[in-house]
Amino acid sequence: MRIVTNWPAVPEHWRASDGKSGVRVLARTAAEMRAAAEPKDSVCLVNCDPELTMGMALANLWPPARRPLVVSDIVLRRPTTSKAKLLHPFKRALISRADLYLNLFSDVRGLTEVFGIPPERCAFVPFKVNINAAEVAAAETAEDYVLCFGRSLRDFDTFFAAMEQLDLPGAIARVNPADLQAHGARFTRTLDQLPRNVAQLDDDGSQMAQVRMLARAKLVVIPVLKSSIVASGISTALNAMRLGKCVIGSEGPGMSDIFTDEVLTAPPEDPAALAAVIRRAWTDDALRTRTAEKGLAYAIVQGGEKELAQRMVDAVAARFG
């Protein structure tokens, strides 16, 4: 089988865990992908690219050119602006035409509701850790603060409201609220309105800065808006777990559907509930340590990009090989 993909992590000569094997051909555009997928044993794998997904869905409308279309780690959101709502029927019609969706979450009700993607065409593939062993080993760990970290659909307002109910040190990365809002985050306060117990940490956007902030946290909080239909905080969660941190997330896709005792959760957009979970995790050493240990074990098993690519290849080969 020939996997035509925009994702270079797939090995040029791949072998699935079930023994099936084949080749990988890279293609960056729909035109390149169509040309490379001319052999009839081709499968197109589009990773994390809604536009390319729609381009390939259009190409598949011509029967002679149709090849199985697999979409992995696609980041989709509910339409909120007038423009997005106007274009949504067209986008939904194309996005929903893939043959298989490899998701980083298992609760696909939002995908079905918003984009018409049926559950039987979905499969859960665990995500990867985005920091390496050397970065973990070099990290200076501490338990200084409750850290709210990340951008995509983060609910900073709920975190701030929760921290105002607690006499605990909190922290966020130094940010421009407008930049966060571009990622769908809710951050409606000005920086001079932050709770007095929430500090801003220097952040140059580097991997090293992320590791430094996560490593010095006692708790890592990932509050996500209830409108999220995908795994909006999974990368931050796995990085924090790999550093041995106790993670608190919002119930929803990519958190309460795939984790059990590896994380603690609170209902989304509920400051009182979040404050209660933070307080308990901060004061209950056994709970915090047990959760962190379970999370660390999970993160180690998932590995990095090589392991994720193998899981994706296995899923494609199992369905189409």
Instruction: Find out whether 70 and 32 touch, Cβ atoms under 8 Å.
Output: no
Supply the pLDDT for residue 80: 93
Confidence of residue 177 (pLDDT cuts 50, 70, 90): confident
Compute the average pLDDT of residues 79-96.
97
Supply the pLDDT for residue 181: 84
Distance CA 261, CA 299 (A): 13
Say yes or no to pLDDT of 302 above 90: yes
* Dihedral (Cα; 321, 68, 232, 9), 10-degree rounding: 60
Say yes or no to pLDDT of 72 above 90: yes
b/e code 115-128 from CB counts within 10 Å (16+ = b): bebeeebbbbbbbb
Say yes or no to pLDDT of 256 above 90: yes
Say yes or no to pLDDT of 314 above 90: yes
Structure tokens at 130: 């985005």
Confidence of residue 176 (pLDDT cuts 50, 70, 90): confident
Instruction: Find out whether 215 and 171 touch, Cβ atoms under 8 Å.
Output: no
Q: Please state the domain extents for the chain.
A: 2-127+304-320, 133-302
DSSP element (H, E) containing 297: helix 285-302
Instruction: Find out whether 26 and 33 touch, Cβ atoms under 8 Å.
Output: no
Which residues make Cβ contacts (< 8 Å) with residue 212, sequence separation at least 6?
139, 140
Query: What is the tens place of the pLDDT at every residue in 178-188?
Result: 888 889 999 99
Query: What is the tens place of the pLDDT at every residue in 121-149?
Result: 999 999 999 999 999 999 999 999 999 99
Supply the pLDDT for residue 170: 99
Which residues make Cβ contacts (< 8 Å) with residue 240, sequence separation at least 6?
149, 214, 217, 220, 247, 295
Compute the average pLDDT of residues 88-109.
98
Confidence of residue 268 (pLDDT cuts 50, 70, 90): very high
Say yes or no to pLDDT of 65 above 90: no
Residues in the chain: 321
CA angle at residue 282 from 279 to 286, to 5 degrees?
Answer: 120
Say yes or no to pLDDT of 150 above 90: yes
Supply the pLDDT for residue 262: 99
Average per-residue pLDDT in the chain?
97
Write down the architecture of domain 133-302 according to CATH: 3-Layer(aba) Sandwich (3.40)
Compute the average pLDDT of residues 41-47.
98
DSSP element (H, E) containing 47: strand 42-47
Query: What is the tens place of the pLDDT at every residue in 226-247?
Result: 999 999 999 999 999 999 999 9
Supply the pLDDT for residue 193: 96
Compute the average pLDDT of residues 93-114.
98
Closest by CA to 53, choosing from 82, 79, 73, is: 73
Instruction: Find out whether 157 and 177 touch, Cβ atoms under 8 Å.
Output: no
* Dihedral (Cα; 228, 123, 259, 198), 10-degree rounding: -30
